[in-house]
Amino acid sequence: MRVIVWLRIIRIKFLLASIIAITNGILYSYLTYNIFNIIDALLTYVGVIFLHASVDIFNDYWDYKRGIDTITKRTNFSGGTGVLPEKKLDPNIVYKAGFLCMVIGLAIGGYFIFQSGLLIAIILAVATLSIYFYSTTIVNIGLGETLVAVKGTMIVIGTSFVQSGIVDLPIVYLGIIIGILSSIVLYIASFPDFDADKEKGRKTLVILIGKNKSAQIFPLLIILIYSLISIGIIIQYLPIYSILTFSSLIFAIRSSKKLKNYDNIEDLVKAISYTITFSRIVGICLIVSYLIAIINK
């Protein structure tokens, strides 16, 4: 039972975003440079997952401390995990767990700094500041979604660099796509928390822009992702098989339609669910496209 509670607070289902980012970086490196180090790959998965978990744990801790999670309406995709408001765990233990996860992730990152040098040090420095100050400072100045996009981009670039020691334009391009895929999930998931976040001083993009305009911008973000993928295929930054990502289109359309009714909580939850599905399908299809390209190399 205790294990289930901890799995809740680390939001295990959202760790898939980091796994997708890492896997894309590894496969790109193997396809492009024919390099694959299994030890470094495994360490990357472990390190990034611990860092990702620390962000989620700290986020739950600080949202509880600020009183956000006690006034927001929780859904399957927003409003926190409910672990602390339900007093399933001691807040001090949760804070220490978040710090421990961060230290483990940073320790593995330290190994990669020794092995790969300055770029990893820069990525790790950004990660450290982002993790610790995300819930206390970054989300208060409207940079939460931007940070998540940058984080996703850096995971892809860093993973590939650890494998190959090279950073080129195609991996940066791929990283940007993965980063936006992660950011768009956070963007739409902030709709249900609008009132609670605003009352407690948070400034998500939805709060800064307003619900109506944010709902109008959402389909443009979807179009941006598909446009980047299409252009990437044309200029050969992505494998031709990346056309598989368009199998997610039905979920993109459904999420955009449901978001128009953002004041209806049932439609809003469906919109978030469809968006997560869209994001995961695109990320997994990119993985599949690299696998096919590697097989046919």
CATH number at residue 45: 1.10.600
Provide the residue type at 80 as one letter: G
Percent of the chain whose pLDDT exceeds 90:
60
Average pLDDT, the chain: 90
pLDDT(199) > 70: yes
> What burial class does residue 242 get, using C-beta atoms within 10 Å of its C-beta: 0-12 exposed, 13-18 middle, 19+ buried?
buried
Q: What's the N-to-C CA distance of the chain in angstroms?
A: 47
CA dihedral defined by 190, 56, 289, 116, rounded to 10 degrees? Answer: 130
pLDDT band for 2, please (50, 70, 90 cuts): confident
- Distance between CA 40 and CA 54 in Å, rounded? 21
For residue 44 the two structure tokens come to: 């990357």
Higher local confidence (pLDDT), 50 or 68: 50
Report H helices in 117-193.
Answer: 118-133, 144-164, 169-189
pLDDT(238) > 90: yes
Distances (CA, A) of 147 to 59, 150, 153: 14, 5, 10
pLDDT(73) > 90: no
* Dmax (CA) of the chain: 55
What is the pLDDT, as a whole number, of residue 78?
67
What is the pLDDT, as a whole number, of residue 79?
65
CB atoms within 10 A of CB 234: 10
For the chain, the domain total comes to 1
Percent of the chain whose pLDDT exceeds 70:
97
Lowest mean pLDDT among 109-123, 134-148, 199-213: 134-148
Which among 102, 89, 93 is positioned nearest to 54, based on CA atoms?
A: 102
Which among 116, 184, 112 is positioned nearest to 152, based on CA atoms?
A: 184
Provide the residue type at 28 as one letter: Y
Q: For residue 229, what are the domain limits?
A: 2-295
pTM for the whole structure: 0.92
pLDDT(20) > 80: yes
pLDDT in tens, 117-128: 888 888 888 877
Lowest mean pLDDT among 13-17, 133-137, 207-211, 245-249: 133-137
For residue 50 the two structure tokens come to: 């611990």
Contact between residue 260 and residue 215 where contact means Cβ atoms under 8 Å apart: yes
For residue 110 the two structure tokens come to: 């330290």
- Distance between CA 3 and CA 54 in Å, rounded? 16
Contact between residue 47 and residue 15 where contact means Cβ atoms under 8 Å apart: no
What is the pLDDT, as a whole number, of residue 133?
72
C-alpha neighbours within 13 Å on the C-beta side of residue 184: 32
